[in-house]
């Protein structure tokens, strides 16, 4: 093993080339391997490490188990001028959602908006990567996906919903507004951080298997559940549950994918429930041309005014101003493009094992 200083920083391009080469070595077609590697690297750049290269081994295990099909080729099964339904051919969601977004953008060019539902797909990485494709076309982008069931609905204790993210990306004059949020109170990644640090978590993130409050970050390993955004009924958990449900319905029911408890788990050691009402898991993406509503210039000007107004509003604490959705991620990306991506020693070890196992060199 190469020695390195902690935290070791690696250049985006080197890490992306490695991910590309690994996917490509698995018969993933070149364009799919490229998009998929970009998607994982965008997560690293934006500081969402839980959805970055740390997940690479997980995707590979699903490929080896045959749950992610390679090679695969998504295709349109039904369409209208502003919509399409896609069969993801059981391939990488990282690519499928991006392919779907391209179609949404083409439809938006032709008739104002484009909306694409994808079934028979797999985990799609960070939602923002897909929604943000719309920005360069002066469009507003949307992306949603359902995911491994971990969240219980209000009053319930079964795992029926994933952390089902909602993402919207909106262009302004000098920057973007990018909301990319799990519809649970806390994403699973936050539990993992508490586990590593051996810390308790706040009440309102999880319930234990009996549906009681717990502060143990390991509760999900003991049949516990994540709570929806809002945490409890008094604080609006029925709203978080409703939003997770909306994402499940658009991504799962409308696309013909699985939904609710039938969404296939990300981890390869848990088998999907059979029989199931749909195929794979599902995504839903959209693009709206701004000039299908009003002038792009005027919109961007007002959107910048919106951002500046919120950013410069009165903070509660002098040293913590109001943050614009997507702002910390954009700053992180700027920083990491300059100085490289810091890798956790465990992630380096994981990547080195992958490198060795599949004979793809990793220059670390």
* 8 A C-beta contact, residue 228 and residue 184: yes
Residues within window 14-43 making contact with a copy of itself, judged by CB under 8 A: none
Using alpha carbons, list the distances in angstroms from residue 35 to 29, 30, 85, 86, 109: 10, 9, 20, 18, 22
- Note whether 145 and 97 are within 8 A (CB): yes
User: Per rule CB under 8 A, is residue 96 in the interface with a copy of itself?
Assistant: no
The nearer residue to a copy of itself, 58 or 232, going by C-beta atoms, is 232
Region from 14-22, 38-46, 128-136, 183-191 binding a copy of itself, contact rule CB under 8 A: 183-191
Does residue number 317 form part of the binding site for a copy of itself (CB under 8 A)? yes
**3-state SS record for 166-221:** EEEEEECCCCEEEEEECCECCCHHHHHHHHHHCCCCCCCCEECCCCCEECCCCHHH
* Closest separation in Å from C-beta 244 to a copy of itself: 10
Residue choice 65, 78, 221, 356 for contact with a copy of itself (CB under 8 A) = 78
Residue with smaller CB distance to a copy of itself, 256 or 340: 256
The reply on whether position 140 binds a copy of itself by CB under 8 A is yes
Q: Residues 94, 132, 290, 360: which binds a copy of itself (CB under 8 A)?
A: 290
Strand 225-226 and strand 281-289: the pairing is unpaired
Structure tokens at 264: 């296939």
DSSP state letters, 241-296: HHHHHHHHIIIIITTT---GGGSPPSSTTSPPPSS-SSSSEEEEEEEEEGGGTS-H
Among 31, 302, 349, 357, binds a copy of itself (CB under 8 A): 302
277 binds a copy of itself (CB under 8 A): yes
Contact between 88 and a copy of itself per CB under 8 A: no
Residue 58 within binding range of a copy of itself, rule CB under 8 A: no
Q: Is 323 in the site for a copy of itself (CB under 8 A)?
A: yes
Q: Pick out residues in 211-230 that bind a copy of itself (CB under 8 A).
A: 211, 229-230
If binding is defined by CB under 8 A, does position 298 make contact with a copy of itself?
yes
């Amino acid at each position: 093993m190469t020695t390195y200083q902690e935290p070791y920083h690696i250049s985006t391009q080197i890490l992306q080339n490695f991910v590309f080469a690994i996917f490509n070595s698995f018969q993933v077609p070149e364009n799919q391997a490229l998009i998929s590697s970009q998607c994982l690297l965008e997560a690293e750049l934006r500081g969402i490490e839980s959805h970055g290269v740390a997940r690479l081994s997980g995707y590979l295990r699903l490929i080896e188990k045959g749950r992610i099909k390679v090679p695969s080729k998504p295709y349109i099964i039904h369409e209208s001028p502003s919509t399409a339904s896609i069969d993801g051919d059981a391939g990488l969601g990282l690519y499928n959602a991006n392919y779907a977004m391209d179609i949404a953008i083409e439809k938006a060019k032709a008739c104002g908006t484009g909306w694409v539902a994808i079934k028979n797909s797999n985990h799609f990485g960070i939602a923002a990567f897909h929604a943000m494709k719309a920005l360069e076309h002066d469009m507003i982008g949307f992306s949603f996906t359902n995911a491994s069931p971990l969240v219980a609905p209000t009053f319930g204790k079964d795992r029926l919903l994933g952390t089902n993210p909602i993402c919207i990306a909106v262009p302004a004059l000098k920057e973007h507004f990018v909301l990319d949020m799990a519809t649970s109170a806390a994403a699973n990644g936050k539990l993992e951080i508490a586990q590593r640090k051996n810390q308790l978590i706040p009440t309102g993130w999880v319930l234990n298997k009996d549906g009681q409050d717990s502060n143990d970050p390991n509760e999900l390993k003991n049949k516990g559940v994540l709570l929806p955004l809002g945490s409890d009924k008094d604080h609006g958990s029925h709203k978080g549950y409703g939003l997770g449900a909306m994402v499940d319905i658009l991504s799962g029911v409308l696309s013909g994918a699985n939904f609710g408890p039938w969404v296939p788990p990300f981890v390869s050691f848990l088998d999907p429930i059979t029989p199931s009402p749909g195929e794979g898991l599902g995504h839903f993406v959209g693009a709206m041309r701004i000039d299908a509503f009003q002038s792009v210039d005027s919109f961007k000007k007002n959107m910048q005014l919106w951002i500046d107004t919120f950013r410069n509003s009165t903070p509660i604490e002098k040293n913590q101003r109001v943050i614009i959705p997507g702002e910390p991620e954009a700053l992180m990306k700027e920083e990491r493009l300059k100085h490289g991506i810091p890798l956790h020693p465990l992630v380096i070890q994981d990547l080195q094992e992958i490198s060795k196992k599949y004979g793809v060199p990793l220059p670390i």
